[in-house]
Structure 1
């Protein structure tokens, strides 16, 4: 029997949580996590159990090449087989889904737990919430930097693309630390970083609004209604400081312990995880979470995540150039985005 964690349902027995964790790992033995067990709920990585592959669709809307469009030498977009590795598709969660497979309970991988409310008696201080968020950013920056490092083998010092390290005749494996071809490893670092940055916009109040029909409080935290990506989340930049974090910013507390988030803003209250997203246009409709249904919040989270994902790829390409030089770095970006880079990235 397959069981699933659900972030929007905080009450789970210890037994069911243990069984679900074991099933999650046992179900991911095959390449590319084929036919995965349903992961903990955030922006979805599967179709079913209330999810609609939201991570895949956000990532495709941001970075997939439009029909008839080529990535160009600079790797502006990802061709079909390459975006499949990054974003996933039917039968695979892709690199973007890997944290739901083997880091499902790692708070920093999903930017959970940075909750705060400017109200007397709230059990977390602004400093505590900010510290958790900065830990999330540091974790994602580590994944991002690891992807840049792993790109080294894609193009040799003479500028030649490695055929073996960019071969996509079979899907990549992205879970449980299994090493693979160079392109797979570089995409994995980038994809794991994107998972957390995209989650931030669903799990926080950065781009959303509170429900005007209810008083501000733990069950209805304020919204910041920001319309662009969070500058402190730019993974190519230097690590942010506490002063960069807005005073009313909050993400939601998530715990398998039914009493673990007592009197705190929870993931269930704040998330905008699920709805329908057009993978070509990014149009987001039919939200299914309570916060997502308020004032266009689901669409706001999705659009901001799409914009941020594009900015993160621009930053990743810039990091390749900064580390490996213009010619080699640009060719690495070309190799990551083209399906036949040995032919196309000369």
Structure 2
């Protein structure tokens, strides 16, 4: 059986993602489930995170989100039976999911609703988990809150918008291009205001204060920030500066950031202190990097797929690629040419 792996410690001239033979245990553990894979979601590997948690291997398995059909269950498995359709996320990097069959622990997967396709749920599970973690776990969102979502047309931003609207929050968002602005304008009245930032300079502060009566927003969810005002590189030119983020935050507000190396200067900290505001870091791998709070994690996954099945969360459709294109697709994802990819088996 073959799987997709990241080859560590090679030069740039050699391929970083390779197809290698892998094997699964013939005998299942008491709480393990053997699953026939129908679709597998690919997202960028955080190599620094893997190094920080002590995972250093020559070949690192690729593939996090999987949807498939149960083939066999362990002796003590009570949640699933053969022929059940399931969806789950891999814990750390024990096994490669981009294979014909995989073995998962029963408490790392949930039942897949019949209305959802395997490709849809495998492609949207990570974004849904990130949105749920940002808005509920970190920001404690409630009805009546005002939310600012940066780059609302992204797959993650769209999930945040839909989840916030469902819970009665007022949503403001930014657009990075005229096409994205048109797309977001079509979401009205779910989106109260679309703020264009494609020209490199925006009236973010004035627009937000106008929409909130000068009070600022209760919650901000970003997709990265600029640490230096003069940084105008292609990767960061559409990102808001950290001081602008803090300036539009209201008293008692909460900022959820995806920036791993955020540095706040003393004036920034002073402004946060004056507003009694707080900052949280959104790490999408935190649920699977630790075995703590597994019950809460499963509840989140179940709620996500139920909302997707009910039409509350409508992810952007993702075109699946065949298995033989998985290496090329993963290379594009790792280079950030694509946010994600889905492989259909």
Give the structure with higher Rg (CA).
2
Q: Give the alignment's TM-score, normalised by structure 1.
A: 0.30
Q: Quick check: which one's helix share is greater?
A: 1
Q: Quick check: which one's strand share is greater?
A: 2
Q: Give the alignment's TM-score, normalised by structure 2.
A: 0.30
Higher relative contact order (CA 8 A, sep 6+): 1
